[in-house]
Amino acid sequence: MKKERNHRLDAKVNSERKRNCMISISTQRSFIMGIAILWIVWFHTDLSYQIPLLSFLRETGYGGVDLFFLLSGVGAWFSLQKNPDAASYLKRRAMRILPSYYPFIIAWLLMMKITGELYGTEIIGNLTMLGWWAQGRNQFNWYVDAIWLFYLLAPVFVGVIAKACKKERTVVLLMAAGFLASATFFHSLLLTAFSRLPVFVLGVFLGSVIMRTMQEMEAEKCVSVQETQDEKTEIKNSGKGVGASWVKKHLFDHNNVIWNILMLAGFAILYLCLTKLSGYMWTYGLWWYPFVMIAPGLALDLGCLAQWLQKSKAGNILRRGINAAGEASFEIFLWHIGLFEYVKPRLEMNGIRWLILAATAILIGIAYRKLIEKAVSLPGKRIGNDLGKI
C-alpha cells in the first residue's frame, strides 16, 4: 500500500512539475522579457571579449527580439480567446505601444532635426510607422514598424489554430507558409521581419497549449480536494532544492528534453552559419531562422529559472529586478536605441562607458514606463502576470 502510494505521489509530483514549467512561459512572462531586453541591450553594445562563448552570446543577442515575437504569439492567443474581437485586440495593442512611442519619437525627431540628420519627408515615415516598410532613410528602428504586421495577422492565426482539429499539423503548415512567404524577401531588408513569422505562429500554438494546461490543472484541483494534507506537504517539499537539483529536475525532465535538444541544435546551427556561411547571413535570413528552434526551449528554461529564483530571498530580489525590466521592455528598447545612436558617434566607448550607458538607458526606460502609466491608463499594468489582459 505504501509503495503504491509513493508511486502515485511521484507521478503527481512529476506531472505538477512538468505543467508548472510549461505555464511558466505565461506566469513568468515579465522575467523572460526582462532577460530578452537585457540581451538586446548587450547586443547593441560594441563590446568584444576574449572568451568565445561570451562573444557568441553577445553577437546573437538580437535573439531577444525572437523571444518577444514568441511571447507576443502566446499573448495573442490568450487575449483573443478572452475576447475574439480583432478590433478590440488591436485597440489594446495600440494603447500599449502608442502612448510610449509618440512622446519618445517626437523628442527623437526633434533631436535629429536639430543635429541636421533628418529631413522633412523622413519624419512622416517615423510618425506613421510605415517608413521602414517603404525602406525610407533615417527610420528609427525596424521593430516598432514591423510588430504591427504580426498584430494584424494574430486574429487570423488564432482563428485558424482554434478551429483546427489537428492543431499540430495546422501549426506546421502555417509555419511552412510563413517560411515560404519570408523566402520571397531574400536579398531584402524586409526579411528581418518576415523571417520571424514562423516563431510568432509557434508562439500562438504554445499559447493554446499553455491555456489547455492551465485548464487541466484547475480541473484537477477541483477533483483532488479530498487529497490528504500529508500528500500536499510531500508534493510541496519535493519541489524544493538547490541549483543542482533544479537542473536535474527541469533540464532532464523527459517532457522538456525535446525543447532543450531543439534549442541546443538551433544554437549549433547558428554557430555553424556564423563561422561557415557568414557571407549569407543577411541575404538568406540565417541570423534569424535558427531561433525558431531556440526560442521555445529558451523561454521554457527561463520561465522555470524564474520559478526557482522565487525560492530564496536573494533570488527573488533578482527576479523582481528583471521583471521590472521586462514590464518596461518596450520603453527600454526605445531609449537604449536612441541613446546608443546619439552617443556612439560622439564619444569613444569602452567597457565602463558601455556599462554606464546601458544602465542609464535601462533605468530611464523603467522610469519612462512608470511615467506613461500614470499619464495614461495602459492595459495590463502587470502585463507579465496575466496574459489575458494583453
- Tell me the pLDDT of the chain (390 aa) as tens digits: 545 554 444 444 445 555 667 788 989 999 999 999 999 999 999 888 889 999 999 999 999 999 999 999 999 999 999 999 999 999 999 999 999 999 999 999 998 888 877 777 789 999 999 999 998 888 999 999 999 999 999 999 999 999 999 999 999 999 999 999 999 999 999 999 999 999 999 999 999 999 988 888 777 766 655 454 555 455 445 444 444 444 445 444 555 788 999 999 999 999 999 999 999 999 999 999 999 999 999 999 999 999 999 999 999 999 999 999 999 999 999 999 999 999 998 899 999 999 999 999 999 999 999 999 998 864 444 433 333 333
User: What's residue 171's pLDDT?
Assistant: 96
Range 183-194 burial, b when 16+ CB lie within 10 A, else e: eeeeeeebbbbb
User: What's residue 229's pLDDT?
Assistant: 53
| 329-343 vs 351-375: helix crossing angle, rounded to 10 | 140
| 29-44 vs 63-82: helix crossing angle, rounded to 10 | 150
User: What's residue 121's pLDDT?
Assistant: 75
User: What's residue 11's pLDDT?
Assistant: 47
Query: CA-to-CA distance for 72 and 36, rounded, in angstroms?
Result: 13
C-alpha cell at 376: 495614461
Instruction: State whether the Cα torsion 353-357-143-323 is positive or negative.
Output: positive
Q: How many CA atoms lie within 13 A of 173 on its CB side?
A: 9
User: What's residue 184's pLDDT?
Assistant: 95
Judging by beta carbons within 10 Å of its beta carbon (0-12, 13-18, 19+), is residue 58 exposed, middle or buried? middle
User: What's residue 355's pLDDT?
Assistant: 94
Residue 250 in contact with residue 301, Cβ under 8 Å? Answer: yes
Query: CA-to-CA distance for 325 and 359, rounded, in angstroms?
Result: 11
Q: Return the closest-CA partner of residue 325 out of 358, 366, 270, 381.
A: 366
pTM of the model: 0.87
Give the number of other Cβ atoms within 10 Å of residue 267's Cβ: 20
User: What's residue 291's pLDDT?
Assistant: 98
DSSP 46: -
Query: CA-to-CA distance for 129 and 114, rounded, in angstroms?
Result: 21
Residue 293 in contact with residue 17, Cβ under 8 Å? Answer: no
Residue with cell 478590440: 88
Query: CA-to-CA distance for 26 and 206, rounded, in angstroms?
Result: 10
Q: Which residues contact 222 (CB under 8 A, 6 or more apart)?
A: none
Query: CA-to-CA distance for 298 and 326, rounded, in angstroms?
Result: 16
List the beta strands (DSSP E) in the chain: none
Give the number of other Cβ atoms within 10 Å of residue 119's Cβ: 11
Q: Return the closest-CA partner of residue 155 out of 50, 57, 79.
A: 79
Residue 22 in contact with residue 216, Cβ under 8 Å? Answer: no
C-alpha gyration radius of the chain: 22
User: What's residue 122's pLDDT?
Assistant: 85
User: What's residue 340's pLDDT?
Assistant: 96
Range 342-376 burial, b when 16+ CB lie within 10 A, else e: eeeeeeebeeeebeebbeebbebbbebbeebeeee
